[in-house]
């Protein structure tokens, strides 16, 4: 018996298929055809979670205190670890009792924040291209999204001057993300100062995604919105344990910043979930307290992969500037082929999985994102496959 008569809600029907779910379908099909896939599509870090984190979780799971419902606002020790981390990294003082909230991953928090603060018809500002949760969350909430088209000539940094005054006056929230997924762009401190002034002028809530804070190279130190004077007054910042600490499957994140905004998100979440398993919070607390030598090791790993792949792509005709942060390369497609067609062609010819740029919005058309999640041996194999298939970046594509 089918249930066609029931129909999904409009908020679901208006959503296009999630690109990574579609990629999973294509990967399964390719594997069924016998292809040895090199998956550089998702931002899913390779390798195990650090052993001290695993051991802390194992021990915590044996503690009966964690076997019941956790506190809605998270454990006091994890919230303190979050605020201590901010003090060490950015010199930002936060109150663990009201300005920090654990999440079931940052994607969950970003989407639920949209539900907590966006009414149907509210206008939301989001860059294009962007991490899908930054514009899909508002769409699920019934909001209207004004896309801020990012430009390569502006190094993929938002130009606030591109936002008309009439739009800014109506806008309720601005989502943004530096260091950026998918472009790998970084924004100077001056941009953060400008965006805080912009938000105060137009009374816009700032929602900053700082999920790649530790994946920075060559002496670059990312900026926290909260270290900018006035930033905490008008904004919140999201972070995840997924990338730096190889905890993507553990689903642990947190939000910090304005206590009023965080309280609104907490109120919504008390009606949707019972919080994060206490043992996972203990594990995340352990991760945040790992020595700086661990972060240096992670940074060196991704910088080595970045340099290796940038050099290898240069031999195939691509001139790619080295990003100062994140775990991604953002590369243009060969002329006269679109993002989806290029990614599908590469997958079918080589078994190498890339993410089409248009998955991150129309502004990503003409690009693909490569995740630096494989070691250099595997990246070298991917480059060899591209070379063997005559896939290059040049004025006259030679792909068949």
Kindly list the structural domains of the chain, giving each domain's residue range(s) and its CATH number in brackets, ordered by start: 10-47+293-388 (3.90.1150.10), 51-288 (3.40.640.10)
Average pLDDT over residues 129-144: 93
Half-sphere exposure of 164 (CA within 13 A, CB side): 6
Query: Rounded mean pLDDT of 138-165?
Result: 96
What span, in angstroms and rounded, lies between the C-alpha atoms of 284 and 279?
9
Q: Which residues pair with 238 in a beta bridge?
A: 209, 255
Average pLDDT over residues 24-47: 78
> What is the reported pLDDT for 20?
63
Query: Roughly how many angstroms between the first and final C-alpha of the chain, as a whole number?
Result: 45
Lowest mean pLDDT among 14-28, 322-336, 358-372, 382-396: 14-28
Q: What integer is the mean pLDDT of 74-85?
A: 96
Q: Which DSSP symbol is given to 349?
A: H
Q: How does the average pLDDT of the chain come out, rounded? A: 91
State the Cα–Cα distance between residues 351 and 269, nearest whole angstrom.
41
| Range in 17-21, 235-239, 252-256, 292-296 the model is least confident about | 17-21
Q: Phi, psi at residue 142, to the nearest 5°? A: 90, 10
| Crossing angle between the packed helical segments 339-350 and 19-32, to the nearest 10 degrees | 30
Q: Are 67 and 265 in contact (CB under 8 A)?
A: no
Q: What is the pLDDT of residue 399?
A: 46
pLDDT computed for residue 398 by the predictor: 44
Q: Which pLDDT value is given to residue 15? A: 66
229: left (phi over 0), alpha (psi -120 to 50) or beta: beta
How do strand 253-257 and strand 100-103 relate by DSSP bridges? antiparallel
Residues 20, 348 contacting (CB under 8 angstroms): no
pLDDT of res. 400? 37
Q: At what angle do helices 106-117 and 133-140 cross, to 10 degrees?
A: 40
Q: What percent of the chain has pLDDT over 70?
A: 92
In this predicted structure, what is the pLDDT of residue 19?
Answer: 62
User: What is the pLDDT, as a whole number, of residue 394?
Assistant: 76
CA distance 170 to 1: 47
pLDDT at 68: 85
Q: What is the pLDDT of residues 190-231, one digit of tens each?
A: 999 999 999 999 999 999 999 999 999 999 999 999 999 999
Instruction: Choose among 246, 176, 174, 240: nearest CA to 211.
Output: 240
Per-residue confidence (pLDDT) for residue 42, from 0 to 100: 83
3-class state of residue 148 by DSSP: strand
Q: Which residue has the higher pLDDT, 235 or 336?
A: 235
The predicted structure's pLDDT at residue 66: 87
What would the mean pLDDT of 98-112 be, rounded to a whole number? 94
- Alpha-helical (H) ranges within the chain are 10-13, 19-32, 51-61, 76-90, 106-117, 133-140, 165-170, 189-202, 231-234, 259-270, 278-288, 292-314, 339-350, 376-388
């Amino acid at each position: 018996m089918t249930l066609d008569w029931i129909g999904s809600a409009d908020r679901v029907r208006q959503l296009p298929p999630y690109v990574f779910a579609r990629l999973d379908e294509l990967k399964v099909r390719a594997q069924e055809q016998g292809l040895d896939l090199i998956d550089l599509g998702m931002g899913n870090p390779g390798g195990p979670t650090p052993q001290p984190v695993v051991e802390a979780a194992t021990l915590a799971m044996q503690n009966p205190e964690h076997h019941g419902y956790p506190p809605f606002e998270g454990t006091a020790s994890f919230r303190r670890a979050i605020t201590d981390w901010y003090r060490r990294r950015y010199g930002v003082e936060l109150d663990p009792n009201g300005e920090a909230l654990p999440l079931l991953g940052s994607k969950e928090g970003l989407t639920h924040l949209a539900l907590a603060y966006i009414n149907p018809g509210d206008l939301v500002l989001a860059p294009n291209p962007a991490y899908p949760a930054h514009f899909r969350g508002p769409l699920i909430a019934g909001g209207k999204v004004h896309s801020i088209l990012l430009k390569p000539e502006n190094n993929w940094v938002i130009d606030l001057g591109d936002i008309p005054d009439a739009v800014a006056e109506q806008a309720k929230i601005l989502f943004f993300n530096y260091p950026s997924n998918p472009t790998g762009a970084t924004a100077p401190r001056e941009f953060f100062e400008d965006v805080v002034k912009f938000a105060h002028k137009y009374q816009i809530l700032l929602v900053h995604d700082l999920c790649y804070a530790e994946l920075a190279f060559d002496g670059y130190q990312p900026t926290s919105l909260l270290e900018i004077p006035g930033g905490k007054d008008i904004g919140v910042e999201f972070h995840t344990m997924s990338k730096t600490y190889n905890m993507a499957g553990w689903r642990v994140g947190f939000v910090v910043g304005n206590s009023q905004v965080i309280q609104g998100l907490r109120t919504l979440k008390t009606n949707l979930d019972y919080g994060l398993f206490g043992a996972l919070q203990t594990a995340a607390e352990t991760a945040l307290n790992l020595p700086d030598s661990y972060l240096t090791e992670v940074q060196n790993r991704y910088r080595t992969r970045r340099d290796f792949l940038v050099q290898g792509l240069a031999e195939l005709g691509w001139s790619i500037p080295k990003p100062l942060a994140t775990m991604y390369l953002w590369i243009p497609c060969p002329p006269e082929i679109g993002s989806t067609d290029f990614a599908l062609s590469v997958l079918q010819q080589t078994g190498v999985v890339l993410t089409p740029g248009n998955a991150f919005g129309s502004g990503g058309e003409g690009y693909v994102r490569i995740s630096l999640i494989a070691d250099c041996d595997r990246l070298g194999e991917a480059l060899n496959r591209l070379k063997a298939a005559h896939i290059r970046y040049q004025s006259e594509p030679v792909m068949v």
